[in-house]
Amino acid sequence: MLSKRDFFAIFLMMATLFFIFQFSMVMKAQENNYDENEHVIEVDLHASDVSVVEADKKVWFIGDIEGGVGDAVRQWCTYTRQQLMTFTEIPEPVMGAGVEAIVIDPGTINIKNKTDKILKLADMGACMIFGDLPDAEYIDSDEDLKKLLGITKVVRPSVHVEGVQIFGGFLLGGETVYAVNKAKPEEERFEDLDLDIAWYDTGLGTKTYIVGVMDEDKVHPYDFPKMIWRSYYNGTFVYAVNGDYLQGMMGIGFLHSMMYDTKEYYIYPIVNANCIVFSDFPCLSSENSEKLMSIYSRNAEAFQRDIAWPGIISMATRSEFSMTCFMSERYDYDRETDISGDETRFYLQQMKELNAEAGRSLDYVGSISLADKAKYSREYYEKEGLNYRFRSLYIQEWKDELKPILEELEPDVRTVVSASRKNHPAISFCSENVTLQYATNKADEYSFKNALLFKSLLTSLGYTNVLVNMTQALWPETAEDEWQNFFDHVFSYVTSYWSDRLIFDATTISESDARIRKMLSAKYSDEKRDDNTIVLHSSGADENFFIVRLHDREIVKISDNAEYTRIEKDSYLIKAKPGDTVITTKESEEVIHYDGPF
């Protein structure tokens, strides 16, 4: 039995704890200035400031520029400031033309019986890249083409391999194998790479970067079918791509890696931004509540607050990403629904505490126009008296009709995120003042090809943009769309596969917009002064990011206007202010030397 003194002591302690808890929550709420977007970075750079190509850096592309290989080459040249010249037929060689690379796409033009013309182009000395290969039967019949490609024998016109192995030192991220673990047959759903390829033997002097994996009990690893390799023909490096790896956004990283392979060192600008975005979340209208009530015994508002949001917080905390949530005031415009201003403020407060950013979604269904949707969205926040600066918009598919809307109705918007890329660049300006960022991966759709795309984009742009499509969960059509199944995939893939294992920064969409503007407008060049000194000349923004890749060398010093961080062996991230950045290198201590008698 408690005495009065003990009872009073316990009462005072509980009252004190209650006061401290309540006081801390009040202070936290007062300090949470949710009406302010701290992620806005004012960068006065526009489409007219995009850096022009260097006249002395040319790339020849032979094929259909609208094809997949053409898409990759066009983006690569844009980001590296190289002048792109396109041909639909094999052109005559031009000696001393300053051509850095010649990319041929046999998938979109006929090169059969034209090897003599291709050999003349090889004599120009520029790196030659076959973005695809003609059929194996033809290659086997053309001895000159086989010699150019370094092929000694066509083992089989077609063979099925079990997976793909990328050797270290090519793409960033080290050696990787994309193959189903035989002990985990459920991984078969990840298998979407082209595993039916021609099997070639290559001769001495060739170097292999990717092979098709087979049963080692039947085929020695040295003899695995080659997917990407390099030959050396009369002083010219010739790359052969046996598969669809040089297509679209994925191809940019492979082109960068091939160029690095041909040079003593290789420097190129990057964005340095990893983003994760949630589309149409939170939805501030109580929509589809009947369906959600039948599944979760909660209406739309309660489902988002009690079930979805805690899971997202857990994932954000574990993965340490900087997310952007594109809020939807209303999705279905053919039905009247209530919108809660309290919900709007609740999520803005929550995002503030998570260091997340809010944007606005322009996704909708119903019989209104896109302009009316944009107007309704903007007016809702004005009516609520919110001063939050929404600098980014989300739309499922970019439409040209959005351009005048941005110019006339959305002057504060600085960037648009779109899910469906089609043939647009991964990052670009869509108007004078607005950048366009495409989702590079969908969070709930992991596959080997998507993982390889992720790896390639980190290599080429230091940029990824992973999309969590919350409309799928808020308007479920199948059991797979229901939150417990949808989020199981999202959480697993984001924390395991869509997390950058290198050193690039996690950013919100506004932060990546600022870096994209700087990257696209940066002017740069480089030179080698002596065996140990490289000078990077850059101008434009207050700072830019570059990747420097070296062969068996390491950076030991950099000038005061820059700083460097090692990504992995032979690769560094440079953060440089305008001016001359002097990079001092030495031979890597990881290089093994043999000092014996031979």
As a CATH number, domain 47-270 is 3.40.50
pLDDT value at position 6? Answer: 59
Tens-digit pLDDT profile for residues 318-361 = 888 999 999 999 999 988 887 877 889 999 999 999 999 999 99
- Find tokens 């000038």 and name the residue: 559
Looking at CATH, the fold of the domain delimited by 522-587 is given as Immunoglobulin-like (2.60.40)
**Cα gap 283→394, rounded to integer Å:** 13
| CA dihedral of residues 119, 123, 129, 135 (deg, nearest 10) | 10
Determine how many CB atoms are found less than 10 A away from the CB of residue 177.
Answer: 13
pLDDT value at position 2? Answer: 57
Amino acid in position 381: Y
Residue 430 near residue 418, CB atoms below 8 Å:
no
**Cα gap 154→162, rounded to integer Å:** 19
Tens-digit pLDDT profile for residues 482-537 = 999 999 999 999 999 998 777 899 999 999 999 999 999 999 999 999 999 999 99
| Alpha-carbon distances of 214 from 218, 228, 498, rounded to whole Å | 8, 16, 27
Q: Where are the beta strands (DSSP E) in 29-125?
A: 54-62, 82-87, 99-104
Instruction: Name the 3-class secondary structure at 415.
Output: strand
**How is 304-351 classified by DSSP, letter by letter?**
IIIIIHHHHHHHHHHHT--EEEEEBS-SBTTS---B-HHHHHHHHHHH
Amino acid in position 56: D
pTM to 2 decimal places: 0.91
Looking at CATH, the fold of the domain delimited by 277-516 is given as TIM Barrel (3.20.20)
pLDDT value at position 9? Answer: 59
Asked whether the predicted pLDDT for residue 593 surpasses 50, the reply is: no
Determine how many CB atoms are found less than 10 A away from the CB of residue 484.
Answer: 12
Tens-digit pLDDT profile for residues 531-575 = 999 999 999 888 999 999 999 999 999 999 999 999 999 999 999
Asked whether the predicted pLDDT for residue 27 surpasses 50, the reply is: no
pLDDT value at position 56? Answer: 79
Tens-digit pLDDT profile for residues 278-297 = 999 999 998 999 999 999 99
**Cα gap 449→439, rounded to integer Å:** 15
Residue 265: HSE in the Cβ half-sphere, 13 Å Cα cutoff? 30
Domain segments of the chain as ranges: 47-270, 277-516, 522-587
What confidence category does residue 476 fall into, taking pLDDT thresholds of 50, 70 and 90?
A: very high
Both tokens of residue 501?
């294992």
pLDDT value at position 412? Answer: 93
**Cα gap 360→393, rounded to integer Å:** 5
Bigger pLDDT: 394 vs 382: 394
Both tokens of residue 68?
């997949």
pLDDT value at position 28? Answer: 46
Both tokens of residue 80?
């590296």
Longest dimension (CA), the chain: 105
Q: What percent of the chain has pLDDT over 90?
A: 81
pLDDT value at position 97? Answer: 82
Both tokens of residue 4?
């009065």
* Burial status of residue 303 (CB atoms within 10 A of its CB: 0-12, 13-18, 19 or more): buried
Ranking 38-42, 170-174, 506-510 by mean pLDDT, the lowest is 38-42
Q: Do you know the residue count of the chain?
A: 598
**Cα gap 372→390, rounded to integer Å:** 18
| CA dihedral of residues 204, 209, 215, 220 (deg, nearest 10) | 20
pLDDT value at position 465? Answer: 96
Quote the mean pLDDT of the chain: 91
pLDDT value at position 17? Answer: 56
Q: Which residues pair with 208 in a beta bridge?
A: 229
Q: For residue 271, give the nearest of 60, 452, 426 by alpha carbon.
A: 426
Residue 300 near residue 287, CB atoms below 8 Å:
yes
Tens-digit pLDDT profile for residues 217-268 = 999 999 999 999 999 999 999 999 999 999 999 999 999 999 999 999 999 9
**How is 442-478 classified by DSSP, letter by letter?**
ETT---HHHHHHHHHHHHHTSEEEEEEETHHHHS--S
Residue 321: HSE in the Cβ half-sphere, 13 Å Cα cutoff? 30
**Cα gap 553→571, rounded to integer Å:** 9
pLDDT value at position 1? Answer: 57
Instruction: Name the 3-class secondary structure at 165.
Output: strand
Q: Where are the beta strands (DSSP E) in 172-280?
A: 176-179, 196-202, 207-213, 226-233, 236-241, 265-270, 273-279
Alpha helices in 263-288 (DSSP H): none
Residue 255 near residue 102, CB atoms below 8 Å:
no
Tens-digit pLDDT profile for residues 177-218 = 999 998 898 899 999 999 999 999 999 899 999 999 999 999
Residue 124 near residue 90, CB atoms below 8 Å:
no
Amino acid in position 416: V
**Cα gap 99→14, rounded to integer Å:** 78
Determine how many CB atoms are found less than 10 A away from the CB of residue 141.
Answer: 11
Find the angle CA(48)-CA(50)-CA(53) to the nearest 5 degrees.
Answer: 125
**Cα gap 197→206, rounded to integer Å:** 19
